[in-house]
Amino acid sequence: MKQLAPTRIAEALPPEKLLKTNQQGLIRGGIACMHDIPTVQQYVAYENQHERRRWVLRMLAEQAATLRELEIEPETED
């Protein structure tokens, strides 16, 4: 699997801005734009320090698991 471009979501929507809302669709979209583990960890840390919403933390955990799977898949030649 090819390496994804570095996540820029933290610049456009930092944790304090993205996670301020309760709208699942907006948060889900922001999380889907996270393409590296350090970015996901940044949002997990923020959520743990503030709201501690289980549904947000679960979405972040799922994204991290997906990213970890992508990292270990062997590259295939096209």
The span from the CA of 18 to the CA of 20, in Å, is 6
Mean per-residue pLDDT over the chain, rounded: 89
How many domains does the structure of the chain reveal?
A: 1
Predicted model pTM: 0.82
Task: Tally the C-alpha atoms within 13 A of residue 45's C-alpha that lie toward its C-beta.
Answer: 7
pLDDT (tens digit, 9 = 90+) per residue, 22-58?
Answer: 999 999 999 999 999 999 999 999 999 999 999 999 9
Is there a domain that residue 37 lies in? yes
Instruction: Supply the range of the domain harboring residue 28.
Output: 14-69
Is there a domain that residue 3 lies in? no
Is there a domain that residue 6 lies in? no
